[in-house]
Amino acid sequence: MMRPTAVLQCILVFALLSFLGACGAATTTHIEPALDLPVSKFQTTANHWPEARQHDLKFMEVYDPWEPMNRHLYNFNAGFDEHFMLPVTSGYEAVLPSPVRSGVSNFIQNVNELPTLVNCMLQGKIEKSAITSSRFLINSTLGIAGIMDLASENPNYALQKEDFGQTLGVWGFGDGPYFVMPIFGPSNVRDTVGFGGDFMLVLIQMKHMYRLLGVNNPQTVGYAELAIRALNRRSNTAFRYHETGSPFEYEMIRFIYTKKRELDIQH
C-alpha cells in the first residue's frame, strides 16, 4: 500500500507535466498555395526561325516572281560547284604555282580592260575611260603583256569595273525579275542580257587577237582560253555554297547582289 506522501508526489508530477504541455508551442497547419492549384499541362512559348515572308525580313525582299525555279537553279549551281568546279579548280591550283596563277590572272584582267573601256565610253564616263586606257597601255608595255599589274601600284590608276549590264542600267533599263543563271549564279533579266553583250565583246576581242597573233587553230585555243578564264575566276572567288552560316543564304545572296548592282550603276 502506497504511502500518502508517494501518492501526493505522483499527483504533483502529473499536474506539472500537464501544465508544461499546455504552455508549449502550438501546432499550426500551413497549406502551400502552389499545392492547391489545379493540375494543368506544361506550356511554354516556342521560338522558331522567321519565315522568309515575315516582317523581320521585309528589308531583304527582292522582286523574285520565279523564286521556285530560281531556288532549284541555286541548288543545281551548288551541286555543280561542289562536285565539278571546285575539284577542277583545286587541280588547277595544284598544277600551277601561285606566281604563275597570278600572272595568268593579271593577263586576263588586262585583256578585260578593253570591254571595260567600251562600256565606260558607252556610259559617258570620261574619267574612267581615261584611267582604263592608261592601265591597258602601262600593263601591256611595262607589265609585259599584262602579266604584271604595275598600274595598280599607283592609286590614280585603280582597276575600273564596268559591264554591259551596268551600261543598260545607266541607260535607264530596270533590273527586271531576279534570275539565277545556270552555273554563273545570281543575276536579273537586265544583267543576263548584259552578260550576253559582254560575252560577245570577249568573243570579238579573241577573234581579232588570234588573227593578229597568227593563231592556226583559233577555235581550240578559244575553248582553252574560256576554260582558263573560268578556272581563274573560281580560283579568285572565296564564296562557297552553304557555308555562309545563314539559314537564309538564298535570300541573303539575292539581297546582296541586288544592292551591289544598284551601287555599281550609281557609280
What does the pLDDT look like over 61-104, one tens digit per residue? Answer: 899 999 999 999 999 999 999 999 999 999 999 999 999 999 99
Evaluate if residue 132 carries a pLDDT over 70.
yes
- Helix 218-235 × helix 86-95 angle, to 10°: 100
- 213-239 pLDDT, tens per residue? 999 999 999 999 999 999 999 999 999
* pLDDT number for residue 250: 96
Contact 116, 132 (CB under 8 A): yes
62: how many CB neighbours lie within 10 A of its CB? Answer: 16
β-bridge partners, 181: 185
* Domain chopping of the chain, boundaries: 73-266
Evaluate if residue 206 carries a pLDDT over 80.
yes
- 168-204 pLDDT, tens per residue? 999 999 999 999 999 999 999 999 999 999 999 999 9
* pLDDT number for residue 16: 45
- Measured between alpha carbons, how far is 213 from 3 in angstroms, rounded to an integer? 146
* pLDDT number for residue 33: 54
* pLDDT number for residue 58: 74
* pLDDT number for residue 61: 87
Mean of the per-residue pLDDT values of the chain: 86
- Measured between alpha carbons, how far is 62 from 41 in angstroms, rounded to an integer? 43
Evaluate if residue 30 carries a pLDDT over 90.
no
* pLDDT number for residue 38: 59
Give the total residue count for the chain: 267
Amino acid identity, position 47? N
Nearest partner of 62 among 52, 74, 72, judged by Cα: 52
Evaluate if residue 23 carries a pLDDT over 90.
no
* pLDDT number for residue 76: 98
* pLDDT number for residue 22: 46
**Binning pLDDT at 50, 70 and 90, where does residue 41 land?**
low
Contact 160, 129 (CB under 8 A): no
* pLDDT number for residue 49: 52
**Binning pLDDT at 50, 70 and 90, where does residue 35 land?**
low
pTM: 0.77
Evaluate if residue 160 carries a pLDDT over 80.
yes
CA distances from 80 to 70, 73, 83 (A): 15, 10, 5
Helix, strand, or coil here: 178?
Answer: strand
Give the cell for residue 212. 593578229
Looking at residues 149-173, what average pLDDT do you find?
A: 97
Name which residue leads in pLDDT, 259 or 30: 259
Give the cell for residue 75. 541548288
Contact 58, 52 (CB under 8 A): no
Evaluate if residue 5 carries a pLDDT over 70.
no
Give the cell for residue 97. 604555282
Evaluate if residue 46 carries a pLDDT over 60.
no
